[in-house]
Structure 1
Amino acid sequence: MTGIVLRDIHQPPAPSWWPPAPGWWLLVIALLTLAVAWWWWRGRRDRRRREIAALFDRAVDAAETPAGQVAAMSEMLRRAARKRDASADRLQGEAWLEFLDAPVDRAKRRRNMPAPVFVQGAGRLLLDGGYRRDVDAAEANALRVLARRRFLQWMGAA
Protein backbone atom coordinates (compact mmCIF):
# COMPACT_ATOMS: atom_id res chain seq x y z
CA MET A 1 0.00 0.00 0.00
CA THR A 2 2.79 2.34 -0.32
CA GLY A 3 2.34 3.31 -4.00
CA ILE A 4 -1.27 4.55 -4.04
CA VAL A 5 -1.94 8.17 -3.13
CA LEU A 6 -5.52 8.96 -2.14
CA ARG A 7 -6.98 12.34 -3.03
CA ASP A 8 -10.32 14.09 -2.30
CA ILE A 9 -13.22 13.77 -4.71
CA HIS A 10 -13.24 16.61 -7.25
CA GLN A 11 -16.59 18.32 -7.74
CA PRO A 12 -17.51 19.46 -11.23
CA PRO A 13 -17.68 23.26 -11.70
CA ALA A 14 -20.97 24.97 -10.78
CA PRO A 15 -23.26 25.60 -13.74
CA SER A 16 -22.97 29.11 -15.13
CA TRP A 17 -25.87 31.50 -14.79
CA TRP A 18 -25.87 32.19 -18.51
CA PRO A 19 -27.63 30.98 -20.57
CA PRO A 20 -30.59 30.39 -18.30
CA ALA A 21 -32.62 27.24 -18.38
CA PRO A 22 -35.63 27.05 -20.75
CA GLY A 23 -38.06 27.56 -17.86
CA TRP A 24 -36.56 30.97 -17.13
CA TRP A 25 -36.93 31.95 -20.80
CA LEU A 26 -40.61 30.98 -20.66
CA LEU A 27 -41.08 33.02 -17.50
CA VAL A 28 -39.47 36.09 -19.08
CA ILE A 29 -41.64 35.74 -22.19
CA ALA A 30 -44.78 35.38 -20.05
CA LEU A 31 -43.88 38.47 -17.98
CA LEU A 32 -43.13 40.52 -21.10
CA THR A 33 -46.43 39.44 -22.63
CA LEU A 34 -48.29 40.48 -19.48
CA ALA A 35 -46.49 43.83 -19.39
CA VAL A 36 -47.33 44.58 -23.02
CA ALA A 37 -50.96 43.53 -22.52
CA TRP A 38 -51.27 45.74 -19.43
CA TRP A 39 -49.68 48.68 -21.27
CA TRP A 40 -52.07 48.23 -24.22
CA TRP A 41 -55.13 47.90 -21.94
CA ARG A 42 -54.17 50.94 -19.92
CA GLY A 43 -53.61 53.06 -23.05
CA ARG A 44 -56.97 51.95 -24.43
CA ARG A 45 -58.71 52.83 -21.16
CA ASP A 46 -57.04 56.26 -20.99
CA ARG A 47 -57.93 56.96 -24.62
CA ARG A 48 -61.55 56.03 -23.91
CA ARG A 49 -61.63 58.33 -20.88
CA ARG A 50 -60.26 61.24 -22.90
CA GLU A 51 -62.78 60.62 -25.70
CA ILE A 52 -65.72 60.55 -23.28
CA ALA A 53 -64.57 63.76 -21.58
CA ALA A 54 -64.07 65.40 -24.99
CA LEU A 55 -67.57 64.34 -26.04
CA PHE A 56 -69.09 66.14 -23.05
CA ASP A 57 -66.91 69.21 -23.52
CA ARG A 58 -67.69 69.47 -27.25
CA ALA A 59 -71.43 69.21 -26.62
CA VAL A 60 -71.37 71.94 -23.98
CA ASP A 61 -68.96 74.20 -25.86
CA ALA A 62 -71.15 74.02 -28.99
CA ALA A 63 -73.87 75.97 -27.16
CA GLU A 64 -73.59 79.72 -27.62
CA THR A 65 -75.35 80.92 -24.47
CA PRO A 66 -75.18 79.79 -20.85
CA ALA A 67 -78.79 78.62 -21.10
CA GLY A 68 -77.84 76.54 -24.13
CA GLN A 69 -74.92 75.09 -22.17
CA VAL A 70 -77.28 74.09 -19.35
CA ALA A 71 -79.57 72.41 -21.88
CA ALA A 72 -76.61 70.57 -23.43
CA MET A 73 -75.45 69.39 -19.99
CA SER A 74 -78.94 68.15 -19.22
CA GLU A 75 -79.08 66.25 -22.49
CA MET A 76 -75.69 64.61 -21.92
CA LEU A 77 -76.63 63.63 -18.36
CA ARG A 78 -79.90 62.09 -19.52
CA ARG A 79 -78.09 60.07 -22.18
CA ALA A 80 -75.59 58.81 -19.62
CA ALA A 81 -78.39 58.07 -17.14
CA ARG A 82 -79.77 55.47 -19.53
CA LYS A 83 -76.62 53.47 -18.92
CA ARG A 84 -77.51 53.13 -15.23
CA ASP A 85 -81.28 52.84 -15.53
CA ALA A 86 -83.25 52.51 -18.76
CA SER A 87 -86.09 54.70 -17.48
CA ALA A 88 -83.94 57.35 -15.79
CA ASP A 89 -84.03 59.73 -18.72
CA ARG A 90 -87.78 60.18 -18.20
CA LEU A 91 -87.48 61.37 -14.60
CA GLN A 92 -88.64 64.93 -13.95
CA GLY A 93 -88.13 67.59 -11.29
CA GLU A 94 -86.95 66.58 -7.85
CA ALA A 95 -86.88 62.89 -8.77
CA TRP A 96 -84.33 63.65 -11.51
CA LEU A 97 -82.16 65.67 -9.12
CA GLU A 98 -82.32 62.92 -6.49
CA PHE A 99 -81.28 60.40 -9.13
CA LEU A 100 -78.32 62.63 -10.02
CA ASP A 101 -77.32 62.81 -6.35
CA ALA A 102 -77.56 59.06 -5.81
CA PRO A 103 -74.13 57.43 -5.35
CA VAL A 104 -72.74 55.44 -8.24
CA ASP A 105 -72.41 52.28 -6.14
CA ARG A 106 -73.71 51.24 -2.75
CA ALA A 107 -70.27 50.62 -1.24
CA LYS A 108 -69.35 54.28 -1.66
CA ARG A 109 -72.66 55.30 -0.09
CA ARG A 110 -71.78 53.50 3.13
CA ARG A 111 -68.30 55.03 3.34
CA ASN A 112 -69.19 58.66 2.73
CA MET A 113 -72.50 60.22 1.96
CA PRO A 114 -72.05 62.76 -0.83
CA ALA A 115 -73.49 66.20 -0.34
CA PRO A 116 -76.71 66.63 -2.29
CA VAL A 117 -75.17 69.02 -4.83
CA PHE A 118 -77.97 68.62 -7.34
CA VAL A 119 -80.94 68.75 -4.96
CA GLN A 120 -79.65 71.61 -2.81
CA GLY A 121 -76.65 73.04 -4.65
CA ALA A 122 -75.69 74.36 -8.04
CA GLY A 123 -77.34 71.40 -9.73
CA ARG A 124 -80.81 72.86 -9.22
CA LEU A 125 -80.11 74.94 -12.30
CA LEU A 126 -80.85 71.83 -14.35
CA LEU A 127 -84.55 72.12 -13.53
CA ASP A 128 -85.19 75.33 -15.43
CA GLY A 129 -81.81 76.71 -16.55
CA GLY A 130 -82.22 75.46 -20.10
CA TYR A 131 -85.51 77.37 -20.42
CA ARG A 132 -84.47 80.68 -18.89
CA ARG A 133 -83.78 83.68 -21.02
CA ASP A 134 -80.77 84.73 -18.95
CA VAL A 135 -78.52 82.38 -17.01
CA ASP A 136 -75.52 83.63 -15.08
CA ALA A 137 -72.31 82.30 -16.67
CA ALA A 138 -70.79 81.62 -13.23
CA GLU A 139 -73.78 79.42 -12.30
CA ALA A 140 -73.47 77.56 -15.60
CA ASN A 141 -69.75 76.98 -14.99
CA ALA A 142 -70.41 75.68 -11.46
CA LEU A 143 -73.02 73.32 -12.87
CA ARG A 144 -70.61 72.23 -15.60
CA VAL A 145 -68.10 70.95 -13.04
CA LEU A 146 -70.78 68.89 -11.27
CA ALA A 147 -72.42 67.62 -14.45
CA ARG A 148 -69.11 66.66 -16.06
CA ARG A 149 -68.04 64.71 -12.98
CA ARG A 150 -71.36 62.82 -12.83
CA PHE A 151 -71.30 62.20 -16.61
CA LEU A 152 -67.79 60.73 -16.42
CA GLN A 153 -68.75 58.55 -13.46
CA TRP A 154 -71.81 57.15 -15.21
CA MET A 155 -69.89 56.52 -18.42
CA GLY A 156 -67.18 54.68 -16.48
CA ALA A 157 -64.48 57.22 -17.23
CA ALA A 158 -63.95 58.70 -13.78
Structure 2
Amino acid sequence: MKSLSLIVLLGPDMKKLICTDSKAFRNAMLKIAPERFSFGMLSNFPAGCCEFTSYMLAKFFIEERAISDIEMLHGVNQFKKTQRHVWLKVMGYDVDITANQFSSTNKTVFCTTNSIWHYSRFIIFESHQPNVKFDHFHEEYQEQLLSDYKMVLESLAS
Protein backbone atom coordinates (compact mmCIF):
# COMPACT_ATOMS: atom_id res chain seq x y z
CA MET A 1 0.00 0.00 0.00
CA LYS A 2 1.16 3.51 -0.68
CA SER A 3 2.58 5.56 2.15
CA LEU A 4 -0.29 7.17 4.01
CA SER A 5 -0.34 10.83 4.74
CA LEU A 6 -3.05 13.25 5.69
CA ILE A 7 -4.05 15.11 2.58
CA VAL A 8 -6.75 17.74 2.50
CA LEU A 9 -8.77 17.27 -0.64
CA LEU A 10 -11.93 18.98 -1.74
CA GLY A 11 -14.58 18.42 -4.39
CA PRO A 12 -13.69 16.20 -7.33
CA ASP A 13 -10.33 15.20 -5.83
CA MET A 14 -12.01 13.91 -2.67
CA LYS A 15 -14.58 12.00 -4.71
CA LYS A 16 -11.80 10.46 -6.80
CA LEU A 17 -9.94 9.33 -3.66
CA ILE A 18 -13.09 7.84 -2.09
CA CYS A 19 -14.08 6.05 -5.31
CA THR A 20 -10.58 4.77 -6.06
CA ASP A 21 -10.14 3.51 -2.51
CA SER A 22 -13.57 1.84 -2.54
CA LYS A 23 -12.78 -0.03 -5.75
CA ALA A 24 -9.37 -1.05 -4.44
CA PHE A 25 -10.88 -2.27 -1.16
CA ARG A 26 -13.45 -4.36 -3.03
CA ASN A 27 -10.76 -5.80 -5.30
CA ALA A 28 -8.60 -6.62 -2.28
CA MET A 29 -11.49 -8.56 -0.77
CA LEU A 30 -12.06 -10.43 -4.03
CA LYS A 31 -8.38 -11.44 -4.19
CA ILE A 32 -8.73 -13.32 -0.90
CA ALA A 33 -9.80 -16.95 -1.22
CA PRO A 34 -13.24 -17.29 0.44
CA GLU A 35 -12.09 -20.01 2.85
CA ARG A 36 -9.39 -17.71 4.28
CA PHE A 37 -11.91 -15.37 5.91
CA SER A 38 -12.27 -16.01 9.65
CA PHE A 39 -15.70 -14.38 9.78
CA GLY A 40 -17.76 -16.88 7.80
CA MET A 41 -20.23 -14.44 6.24
CA LEU A 42 -17.41 -12.68 4.38
CA SER A 43 -16.66 -15.85 2.42
CA ASN A 44 -19.80 -15.13 0.36
CA PHE A 45 -18.66 -11.60 -0.53
CA PRO A 46 -20.41 -9.58 -1.81
CA ALA A 47 -23.61 -11.51 -0.98
CA GLY A 48 -25.06 -11.27 2.51
CA CYS A 49 -22.24 -9.31 4.10
CA CYS A 50 -23.00 -5.66 3.31
CA GLU A 51 -23.08 -4.62 6.96
CA PHE A 52 -19.76 -6.19 7.93
CA THR A 53 -18.08 -5.10 4.71
CA SER A 54 -19.33 -1.55 5.32
CA TYR A 55 -17.86 -1.58 8.84
CA MET A 56 -14.48 -2.66 7.46
CA LEU A 57 -14.54 -0.08 4.66
CA ALA A 58 -15.48 2.62 7.19
CA LYS A 59 -12.55 1.52 9.37
CA PHE A 60 -10.27 1.91 6.36
CA PHE A 61 -11.48 5.45 5.61
CA ILE A 62 -11.26 6.51 9.26
CA GLU A 63 -7.91 4.94 10.15
CA GLU A 64 -6.03 5.00 6.84
CA ARG A 65 -7.42 8.16 5.25
CA ALA A 66 -8.40 10.22 8.32
CA ILE A 67 -11.92 10.70 6.95
CA SER A 68 -14.40 10.92 9.81
CA ASP A 69 -17.50 12.21 8.01
CA ILE A 70 -19.02 8.74 7.61
CA GLU A 71 -22.53 7.45 8.21
CA MET A 72 -23.69 3.87 8.00
CA LEU A 73 -27.11 3.67 6.34
CA HIS A 74 -29.50 0.76 6.94
CA GLY A 75 -32.36 0.43 4.49
CA VAL A 76 -35.29 -1.89 3.95
CA ASN A 77 -36.34 -2.70 0.39
CA GLN A 78 -39.69 -1.03 -0.18
CA PHE A 79 -40.65 -3.75 -2.68
CA LYS A 80 -39.42 -6.75 -0.65
CA LYS A 81 -39.84 -5.89 3.03
CA THR A 82 -37.74 -8.89 4.12
CA GLN A 83 -34.72 -7.56 2.21
CA ARG A 84 -32.36 -5.13 3.91
CA HIS A 85 -29.16 -3.47 2.82
CA VAL A 86 -26.36 -1.44 4.40
CA TRP A 87 -24.02 1.06 2.73
CA LEU A 88 -21.95 4.09 3.67
CA LYS A 89 -22.26 7.81 3.16
CA VAL A 90 -18.68 9.11 3.06
CA MET A 91 -18.32 12.90 2.94
CA GLY A 92 -21.72 13.09 1.25
CA TYR A 93 -21.06 10.30 -1.26
CA ASP A 94 -23.08 7.08 -1.20
CA VAL A 95 -20.47 4.32 -1.18
CA ASP A 96 -21.45 0.70 -1.68
CA ILE A 97 -19.16 -2.17 -2.68
CA THR A 98 -21.75 -4.96 -2.27
CA ALA A 99 -24.75 -3.74 -4.30
CA ASN A 100 -24.25 -6.27 -7.08
CA GLN A 101 -25.45 -8.98 -4.73
CA PHE A 102 -28.90 -7.83 -5.90
CA SER A 103 -30.28 -8.73 -9.33
CA SER A 104 -31.43 -5.13 -9.90
CA THR A 105 -27.86 -3.94 -10.55
CA ASN A 106 -24.62 -5.30 -11.91
CA LYS A 107 -22.70 -2.23 -10.79
CA THR A 108 -19.90 -3.40 -8.50
CA VAL A 109 -19.13 -0.07 -6.82
CA PHE A 110 -21.42 2.87 -6.18
CA CYS A 111 -19.70 6.14 -5.37
CA THR A 112 -22.05 9.01 -6.05
CA THR A 113 -24.20 11.63 -4.38
CA ASN A 114 -27.87 10.75 -3.90
CA SER A 115 -27.70 7.31 -5.51
CA ILE A 116 -30.90 6.77 -7.47
CA TRP A 117 -30.48 3.01 -7.21
CA HIS A 118 -30.35 3.11 -3.39
CA TYR A 119 -32.98 5.75 -2.66
CA SER A 120 -35.51 4.40 -5.16
CA ARG A 121 -35.36 0.93 -3.55
CA PHE A 122 -34.46 1.28 0.10
CA ILE A 123 -36.18 3.21 2.87
CA ILE A 124 -33.56 4.20 5.42
CA PHE A 125 -34.61 3.09 8.89
CA GLU A 126 -31.32 3.71 10.68
CA SER A 127 -28.30 5.94 10.22
CA HIS A 128 -25.32 6.13 12.57
CA GLN A 129 -21.59 6.62 12.77
CA PRO A 130 -19.93 3.22 12.45
CA ASN A 131 -18.13 1.73 15.44
CA VAL A 132 -14.88 0.73 13.76
CA LYS A 133 -13.44 -0.92 16.86
CA PHE A 134 -16.08 -3.61 16.31
CA ASP A 135 -16.46 -3.83 20.10
CA HIS A 136 -20.25 -3.84 19.84
CA PHE A 137 -20.01 -7.35 18.38
CA HIS A 138 -19.51 -10.53 20.38
CA GLU A 139 -15.80 -10.87 21.27
CA GLU A 140 -15.29 -13.83 18.92
CA TYR A 141 -16.82 -11.93 15.98
CA GLN A 142 -14.81 -8.83 16.86
CA GLU A 143 -11.56 -10.80 16.71
CA GLN A 144 -12.55 -12.46 13.43
CA LEU A 145 -13.49 -9.15 11.79
CA LEU A 146 -10.28 -7.47 12.97
CA SER A 147 -8.26 -10.39 11.63
CA ASP A 148 -10.07 -10.26 8.29
CA TYR A 149 -9.64 -6.49 8.12
CA LYS A 150 -5.86 -6.92 8.53
CA MET A 151 -5.92 -9.53 5.77
CA VAL A 152 -7.73 -7.07 3.46
CA LEU A 153 -5.08 -4.43 4.22
CA GLU A 154 -2.38 -6.95 3.31
CA SER A 155 -4.25 -7.75 0.10
CA LEU A 156 -4.42 -4.02 -0.68
CA ALA A 157 -0.67 -3.75 -0.23
CA SER A 158 0.14 -6.62 -2.59
Q: TM-score range by the shorter chain?
A: under 0.3
Q: Looking at secondary structure, tell me which structure has more helix per residue.
A: 1
Give TM-score, length-normalised by structure 1: 0.26
Structure (1 or 2) with the larger CA radius of gyration: 1
Q: Looking at secondary structure, tell me which structure has more strand per residue.
A: 2
